[in-house]
Amino acid sequence: MKFDDRIELSLDVELTTKEFKCDEFLSKIFSNPILFYLSNDHLALPVYTVLNFQNKVISYYNLFSEKNLQLVKEHNLDKCSVHSSFSIGNKGFYNFYFSNPELKINLFSFMDFEDLKHKFFLANDIFNGEYDFVNESTGNDISRPGYFFLGVKNKGLNKYEIYSCSYDLKTKIKLLDVNDRKYSPHDIKSFGNYLFATEFFEQRFKTKTSTFNDSLDLYKTFKKIGNIKPYLLYELNKQKQNIQVLNGKILIHKLEEGNTEYKFLETNFCPSHIEVIDNNMYISSHNFIMMEGNIYLNPASIDLYRYENDTPVFIKKFEDPAGFRFTAHKAFKRNNHPYVVTIGHPNRLFIVDGISMEKIKEIDLGGETVLNNEDNKLFINQRKFDDYDPLRFSDTEISDDGNYLLFWDQTFVNLLDLETYEITKIIDFTFKGFKQRTYHSTLL
C-alpha cells in the first residue's frame, strides 16, 4: 500500500510459515484467512498470526527483532497493545490499540503485505492537530466504498472528532464534532444509512452531591482503606455516597452529505462493540467500571436493533446471570437464520437466536465450570483471570455455512460443531514460546 511521508515508524517484519493438516471439508467452509494474536508477557507488540485453510498454512508476522524493539522504545510505542484489526483485503490490515485514560495512545498501524512492513501513524500527523486518543475498533463507511472511520480526541478540547478516511489515508473527510466528551469513541460502524459509535470510557455516575462522567474521577473521591480490593471499596462507597450508575450512550448520525447533526441512544453501562448482519445490528455493553482493573457491576448485555422505515429501532436485549463482559460477539447466519455467539468472561460461550434473542445453548470452554449462577458477581470480581489464563476465552470465528465455529485456547485452534456441540482440537498454533492473547479476531 502506497502512503505519503506521514508514516511515523516503519518496522521490518519477519514472516515464518508452518503447514498444518486438517480435514478437507474445512477448506470449503472457512474461505477467508483468520487473524489472531500471539504475545509476550513483557512486550506489547504482537505476533500477527494468520490461519489459512485454503493452503493449510499458518503465517506468523513477527516484529520481535532487537532493532524493532529499540525503535519502538525510542518512539514511546512500547505501551501499545493491539485491541482489534480492520482488513482491507490482500493489501493488509489496520491495527487499533487499547486506550488508557492515563496514557497518550494517539496512533494506529498498518501491516503491509506488499512490502512486509509494519507502519505506525500518529493521529497528529494524519489530521494536522494535537490528539491523545484514537478509537479502538472500526468498520467500513458504507456510504463511501474504500473508506473507513477514525475517531480522535484531544484531551484539552471537550469534544471528539470522527472522520471518513480512504484506505490509503490520502483523503480525510471530517464528519462530526461530538461535543461534551472526554474520550474518543470505542467502536465505529455503519448500519443502513447511519453511523454508530459506542462510548466505552464515558462512564457516568450520580452521587448524593455530584455527577461524574469518568470512573477515574469518581474513584478519586474514595477514601482508601488499607489493602482493600477495588471491588469492595466500590461497594462500600456505593452505599456511603448513594452511587447511581447511569445509562451508557451510543452515538447515532445519519450519513448524508453535509449533515453534522447527531443524537444518542441509551443502553446498558459501558457500551462496547457493534456487529451487523442483514437488517439486524447487535450492540454489546460490558457493564463494568474501570477502577484499578475492572469492577463488574452486573451481567453484560447485547441489544438488537432492526432497520425499519429508514430508522434503527430497538427490538430486544440478551442477558444471562452467568454472562459477564461479552468481550466480543459475532453475528452469523445458519440455514438463513441469524444467530449471535459470544463468550461471557471468563469461559462461558453462549449461542443466541438472533431474532428472539433467547439463549439456545451455553458451553463452558476449557472443560471447567467456574460460574455457578449463585454468587457470580462476587466470584468474578474476586478471581483474576489474566490474559493468558487457560480458562480465559474471548472471541470466535464462524464458518461460511454457519455450522462450525473456531476458538483458541493457549495451544490449539478448536472446532465446535454447532449441530452436536462436539469440540475438537484441530491445529497446534504455538510459536517460539509466545502466548495467545486475542481480544478480537478478524476475517481477512
Residues with Cβ < 8 Å from 324, sequence gap 6 or more?
A: 287, 288, 296, 299, 300, 344, 345, 371, 376, 377, 380
296 bridge partner residues = 288
pLDDT of residue 373: 67
User: Rounded CA gap, 11 and 109, in Å?
Assistant: 11
pLDDT of residue 192: 85
Q: Which of 218, 388, 237 is nearest to 292 (CA)?
A: 218
| Rounded Cα–Cα distance for residues 408 and 207 (Å) | 42
Q: What is the mean pLDDT of each run of 10 residues along the chain (444 residues)?
A: 82 96 95 94 83 96 90 84 94 93 88 95 93 95 95 93 96 95 94 92 90 87 81 89 91 93 92 94 93 89 91 93 94 97 95 98 90 83 85 94 96 96 96 91 96
Query: Do 442 and 37 meet the contact criterion of CB atoms below 8 Å apart?
Result: no
pLDDT of residue 273: 96
Q: What pLDDT, on a 0 to 100 scale, did the predictor assign at position 42? A: 63
Q: What is the pLDDT of residue 105?
A: 87
- CATH 1.10.357.10: does it fit domain 9-204+247-443? no
CB contact set of 157 (below 8 Å; sequence gap of 6+): none
HEC string of the chain? CCCCCCCCEEEECEEEEEECCCCCHHHHHCCCCEEEEEEECCEEEEEEEEEECCCCEEEEEECCCHHHHHHHHHCCCCCCCEEEEEECHHHEEEEEECCCCCCCECEEEEEECCCCEEEEEEHHHHHCCCCCEECCECCECCCCCCEEEEEEECCCCCEEEEEEEECCCCCEEEEEEEECCCCCCCEEEEECCEEEEECCCCCCEECCCCEECCHHHHHCCCCCCCCCCHHHHHHHHHHHHCCEECCEEEEEEECCCCCCCCEEEEECCCEEEEEEECCEEEEEECCEEECCCEEECCCCEEEEEEEECCEEEEEEEECCCCCCCCCCEEEEEECCEEEEEEEECCCEEEEEECCCCCEEEEEEHHHCCCCCCCCHHHHHHHCCCCCCCCCCCCCCEECCCCCEEEEECCCEEEEEECCCCCEEEEEECCCCCCEECCCCCEEC
Rg (CA), the chain: 21
Q: Which amino acid is at 156?
A: G
Q: Say if CB 104 and CB 132 are below 8 A apart.
A: yes
Which residue in 359, 357, 358, 440 sits closest to 396, CA to CA? 440
Contact 64, 70 (CB under 8 A): no
Tell me how far apart the alpha carbons of residues 319 and 321 are, in angstroms, rounded to a whole number. 7
**Ranges of each domain in the chain:** 9-204+247-443
Q: What is the predicted pLDDT for the residue at 43? A: 67
